[in-house]
């Protein structure tokens, strides 16, 4: 029998100073080698060391220009904030159309993206932020987080937001009030994420104190991580988009709201070749067909100016 030390995901999380949910996601993606003993997951010490050294090497090998602060003003680069997979498609089309352009993805949430645009550390950001006072998306937040700055807002897609629940919904979770039940545990998104804003705005509308929601302070940083957490049984419910639910086995999706997912950039950049090409791609049949092909999106207003 091997004397190699092994760790539980919880112990790995403590070593790396991250959440155990993130560790499970790393294992699921194949970034961190692991094995099962029955239903228990273990990570051997040498495999953890390989992951740490690989992460250090990748960090050290990245050129300084890959930093958003170093490249936001670079005429040969474009920093795009947002998490949806359609941004991967967009940047691929853009790099194909303009081979000299380097596209950098920043997987930040909607509010952090708007703040990056305000600070000049991003060129293009996406947002899906619902404002309960006006029952509109994005515009109130853009005005709030980019005061005095003129922006252009174009629609990319509409998406369905709702709850991830376990297969067959054993806890019978159907609406926002169900989150207050003592037998229901939530896995939340990080502050600034559109899903987190939707939850908080709904709690405000319904006059629900977040402190009565079990798990409200437990956070993950992507729709996929939230859905995976529910699938594993570490939480009963999370807020996310329908598209991600189709990528994770063992969960069902409860639709609650149609949300607008927009792309935002400074008006002063509108005439630059990068941005003209980007808009042409968004409105192209090739881009529309590729996004339509993966399913889960409403493309009825793609490329339309929203402000």
> Are residues 89 and 125 in contact, defined by beta-carbon separation less than 8 angstroms?
no
For residues 104-120, give the mean pLDDT: 94
pLDDT, tens digit, 9 for 90 and up, residues 195-252 = 999 999 999 999 999 999 999 999 999 999 999 999 999 999 999 999 999 889 999 9
Tokens 């939850």 belong to residue: 199
Radius of gyration of the chain from its Cα atoms, rounded to whole angstroms? 21
Residue 289 is predicted with a pLDDT of 96
Direct distance between the N- and C-terminal alpha carbons of the chain, in angstroms, rounded to an integer: 66
Mean pLDDT of the chain: 90
Residue 177 is predicted with a pLDDT of 98
Under DSSP, the state recorded for 121 is: S
Q: Which of 158 and 48 is assigned the larger pLDDT?
A: 158
Percent of the chain with pLDDT over 70: 92
In a domain, 304, yes or no: no
Residue 14 is predicted with a pLDDT of 78
In a domain, 13, yes or no: yes
Residue 8 is predicted with a pLDDT of 87
Band of pLDDT at residue 70, cut at 50, 70 and 90:
very low
For residue 144, pLDDT beyond 80 = yes
**Domain final position from 42, 61, 80:** 61
Q: Are residues 265 and 197 in the same domain?
A: no
Q: Rounded CA gap, 136 and 149, in Å?
A: 20
175 contact partners, CB below 8 Å, separation of at least 6:
256
CATH code of the domain in which 115 resides: 3.40.190.10
Q: Rounded CA gap, 116 and 187, in Å?
A: 26
Q: Rounded CA gap, 206 and 200, in Å?
A: 10
Q: Are residues 287 and 170 in the same domain?
A: no
Q: Are residues 151 and 271 in the same domain?
A: yes
Backbone angles phi, psi at 148, to 5 degrees: 80, 0
Band of pLDDT at residue 58, cut at 50, 70 and 90:
low
Domain count, the chain: 3
Q: Are residues 173 and 212 in the same domain?
A: yes
Band of pLDDT at residue 57, cut at 50, 70 and 90:
low
Residue 51 is predicted with a pLDDT of 82
Query: Side-chain half-sphere of 9: how many Cα atoms within 13 Å?
Result: 21
pTM over 0.85: no
Residue 65 is predicted with a pLDDT of 38
For residue 101, pLDDT beyond 70 = yes
Residue 2 is predicted with a pLDDT of 53
Q: Are residues 82 and 167 in the same domain?
A: no
In a domain, 26, yes or no: yes
pLDDT, tens digit, 9 for 90 and up, residues 158-203 = 999 999 999 999 999 999 999 999 999 999 999 999 999 999 999 9
In a domain, 306, yes or no: no
In a domain, 307, yes or no: no
Strands (DSSP E) contained in 167-236 are 186-189, 219-220
Band of pLDDT at residue 64, cut at 50, 70 and 90:
very low
Tokens 């980019």 belong to residue: 146
Q: Which of 156 and 48 is assigned the larger pLDDT?
A: 156
In a domain, 126, yes or no: yes
Residue 74 is predicted with a pLDDT of 63
Range(s) of the domain holding residue 189: 160-258
The angle subtended at Cα 216 by Cα 43 and Cα 25, nearest 5°, is: 25
């Amino acid at each position: 029998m091997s004397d190699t030390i092994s760790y539980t995901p919880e112990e790995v999380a403590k070593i790396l100073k991250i959440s155990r949910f993130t560790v499970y996601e790393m294992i699921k993606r194949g970034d961190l080698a692991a094995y099962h003993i029955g239903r228990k997951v273990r990570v051997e010490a040498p495999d953890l060391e390989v992951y740490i050294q690989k992460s250090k090497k990748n960090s050290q090998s990245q050129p300084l220009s890959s930093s958003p602060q170093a490249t936001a003003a670079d005429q040969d680069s474009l920093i795009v904030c947002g998490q949806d997979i359609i941004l991967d498609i967009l940047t691929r089309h853009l790099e194909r159309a303009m081979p000299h352009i380097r596209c950098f993805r920043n997987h930040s949430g909607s509010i952090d993206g708007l703040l990056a645009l305000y600070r000049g550390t991003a060129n293009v950001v996406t947002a899906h932020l619902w404002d309960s006072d006006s029952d509109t998306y994005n515009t109130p937040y853009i005005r709030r987080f980019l005061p005095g700055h003129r922006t252009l807002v174009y629609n990319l897609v509409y998406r369905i937001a709702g709850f991830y629940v376990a297969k067959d919904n054993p806890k019978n979770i159907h609406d926002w009030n169900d989150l207050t039940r003592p037998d229901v545990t939530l896995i939340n998104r990080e502050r600034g994420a559109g899903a987190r804003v939707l939850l908080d705005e709904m709690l405000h509308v319904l006059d629900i104190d977040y402190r009565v929601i079990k798990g409200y302070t437990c956070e993950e940083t992507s729709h996929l991580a939230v859905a995976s957490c529910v699938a594993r049984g570490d939480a009963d419910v999370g807020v996310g988009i329908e598209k991600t639910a189709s990528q994770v086995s063992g969960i069902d999706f409860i639709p609650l709201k149609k949300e607008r997912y927009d792309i935002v950039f400074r008006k002063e950049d509108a005439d630059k070749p990068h941005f003209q090409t980007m808009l042409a791609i968004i409105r192209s049949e090739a881009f529309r067909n590729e996004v339509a092909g993966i399913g889960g999106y409403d493309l009825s207003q793609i490329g339309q100016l929203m402000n």
